[in-house]
Amino acid sequence: MENKRIRRIGLLTSGGDAPGMNAAIRSVVRTCIGNDITPIGVYRGYNGLLNNEVAELNARSVNGITSHGGTMLYTARCDEFKTEEGVKRAAQNCRYLGIEGLICIGGDGTFRGARDLAAQGIRTIGIPATIDNDIACTDYSIGFDTAANTAIDAIDKLADTMQSHERASIVEVMGRNAGHLALYVGLASGASATLIPEKPVNFESDVIEVIREGHYNGKRHSLIIVAEGVGRTNELAEMIKTQTGMETRVTIIGHIQRGGSPTARDRVMASRMGHFAVKKLIDGASSMVVCYRNSEIVATPIDEALQMKKDLDGYMYEVAKDIAI
Ligand code: F6P
């Protein structure tokens, strides 16, 4: 028997926002319309399903949003959705609203919700979007490139003034408990040392010594990148000052990394993933995550995806260390 063609697809963003989410939303909406499917925007993540905060979208609803960070559907975390009753109620509301399939844009928490909803009979597809790039089933998550470039731009500006005062600069970048963003930014910004949760270090031998050596070899400025999962930036600054005599300043870049106009990479990746997600629902798939793996866009079952662990890029860590001399 031919699969009943899907006619109405919901989409939502959940968890921490990421630049490029709007490009994914635009791609989902336009792909739906091109396939004679009604796209339904769900506002404020899973809360929107529980509170029926939804609106039918059309091609004009997503005009000009590609170049804007953030998410036009807003986002929020939803505790009620973590309960069985909450998931059941959301599934009921989907059926009441005629939402036959749902595209959930966000991180691992978003995918756990999508998996639970699929178990209640609502077909779901996840799209990976988090600046942390810590989703194991995909080599790339929407938002990472933009956040990295935002941090690098800030660090390049910092380098001007730190150089002028011959100071050490400690910069904390986001990433929650992962070091992918910090490592990438550290390599790109020429850091003397990059501290990440996956690679515990001894401040004395791995940082102070490196700064001393750099200073001895004529470095007028030392940059240390610290992932927020490591923290201890003020303690480190104090150590550098007392043990090397170098004046030191701490900068925590913070939420600026979550905003800004998405880079071309994020816009293109988000557009490809959004299109692919709709096609998977049309093909009858459910409880899958769209992934970028070996330069291809593929789909992985959510259960499998959530079991996977994302390893650090060990070679990138080695390169960053070796060329920091
Ligand atoms: O997960 C993305 C992220 O930006 C993390 O890097 C950061 O630790 C966290 O979100 C901050 O969360 P919130 O926006 O709720 O403060």
Ligand 1 centre to CA of 106 (Å) is: 12
Q: What tokens were used for 90?
A: 């959301």
- Tell me: the pLDDT tens digits for 166-202? 999 999 999 999 999 999 999 999 999 999 999 999 9
Asked if pLDDT for residue 311 goes beyond 60, the answer is yes
CB atoms within 10 A of CB 2: 4
Kind of pairing, strands 123-128 and 8-13? unpaired
Nearest CA to ligand 1 atom 7: 176
**Best mutation site among 135, 174, 230, 257 for ligand 1 pocket (most ligand atoms within 8 Å of CB):** 174
Residues lining ligand 1, Cβ inside 6 A: 16, 130-132, 174-176, 228, 258
Which value, in Å, is the radius of gyration of the alpha carbons in the chain?
A: 22
Nearest CA to ligand 1 atom 5: 176
Nearest CA to ligand 1 atom 1: 16
Which positions are annotated as active-site residues?
132
**Best mutation site among 132, 172, 183, 310 for ligand 1 pocket (most ligand atoms within 8 Å of CB):** 132
Ligand 1 atom with the smallest distance to the CA of 134 is 1
% of the chain beyond a pLDDT of 70: 99
At 139 the pLDDT is: 97
Ligand 1 centre to CA of 246 (Å) is: 32
Mean pLDDT along residues 34-51: 98
CB atoms within 10 A of CB 95: 12
Ligand 1 centre to CA of 259 (Å) is: 12
Ligand 1 atom with the smallest distance to the CA of 258 is 4
Secondary structure E strands in the chain: 8-13, 38-42, 54-56, 101-106, 123-128, 168-173, 193-195, 222-227, 248-252, 288-293, 296-301
Asked if pLDDT for residue 1 goes beyond 50, the answer is no
Asked if pLDDT for residue 325 goes beyond 90, the answer is no
**Best mutation site among 176, 177, 184, 230 for ligand 1 pocket (most ligand atoms within 8 Å of CB):** 176
- Tell me: the pLDDT tens digits for 268-279? 999 999 999 999
At 177 the pLDDT is: 96
Ligand 1 centre to CA of 217 (Å) is: 38
Contacts with 34 (C-beta within 8 Å, 6 or more apart), sequence order: none
Asked if pLDDT for residue 77 goes beyond 90, the answer is no
Asked if pLDDT for residue 138 goes beyond 90, the answer is yes
Total-model pTM = 0.96
Tell me which residue of 162, 248, 254, 253 sits closest to 207, measured CA to CA. Answer: 248
Ligand 1 centre to CA of 177 (Å) is: 10
d(CA 289, CA 287): 7
Q: What is the H or E stretch that residue 149 is in?
A: helix 144-164
Ligand 1 centre to CA of 146 (Å) is: 15
Q: What is the DSSP letter of 82?
A: G
Domain boundaries, the chain: 8-143+262-307, 147-258
Q: What is the CATH number of domain 147-258?
A: 3.40.50.460
Q: Identify the band that residue 258 occupies on the pLDDT scale cut at 50, 70 and 90.
A: very high
Ligand 1 atom with the smallest distance to the CA of 147 is 4
At 70 the pLDDT is: 98
Mean confidence (pLDDT) of the chain: 96
Q: What tokens were used for 150?
A: 């935002």
Ligand 1 atom with the smallest distance to the CA of 17 is 2
Mean pLDDT along residues 87-109: 97
Nearest CA to ligand 1 atom 13: 16
Tell me which residue of 73, 83, 78 sits closest to 105, measured CA to CA. Answer: 73
Asked if pLDDT for residue 10 goes beyond 70, the answer is yes
Pick the CATH number of 8-143+262-307 from 3.40.50.450, 3.40.140.10, 1.10.3720.10, 3.40.50.10490: 3.40.50.450
At 206 the pLDDT is: 86
Q: Quick one: 201 exposed, middle or buried, by C-beta within 10 A (0-12, 13-18, 19+)?
A: middle
3-state helix/strand/coil string of 290-303: EEEECCEEEEEEHH
Residue 66 — φ and ψ, nearest 5°?
A: -55, -35
Mean pLDDT along residues 59-63: 97
Is the distance from CB of 289 to CB of 137 less than 8 angstroms? yes
Is the distance from CB of 246 to CB of 236 less than 8 angstroms? no
At 204 the pLDDT is: 87
d(CA 199, CA 211): 19
Ligand 1 atom with the smallest distance to the CA of 15 is 1
Ligand 1 atom with the smallest distance to the CA of 255 is 4
Mean pLDDT along residues 148-170: 97
Tell me which residue of 268, 273, 299, 278 sits closest to 36, measured CA to CA. Answer: 278
Asked if pLDDT for residue 95 goes beyond 80, the answer is yes
- Tell me: the pLDDT tens digits for 204-243? 888 999 999 998 899 989 999 999 999 999 999 999 999 9
d(CA 190, CA 255): 22
Tell me which residue of 299, 309, 287, 270 sits closest to 113, measured CA to CA. Answer: 287
Nearest CA to ligand 1 atom 12: 16
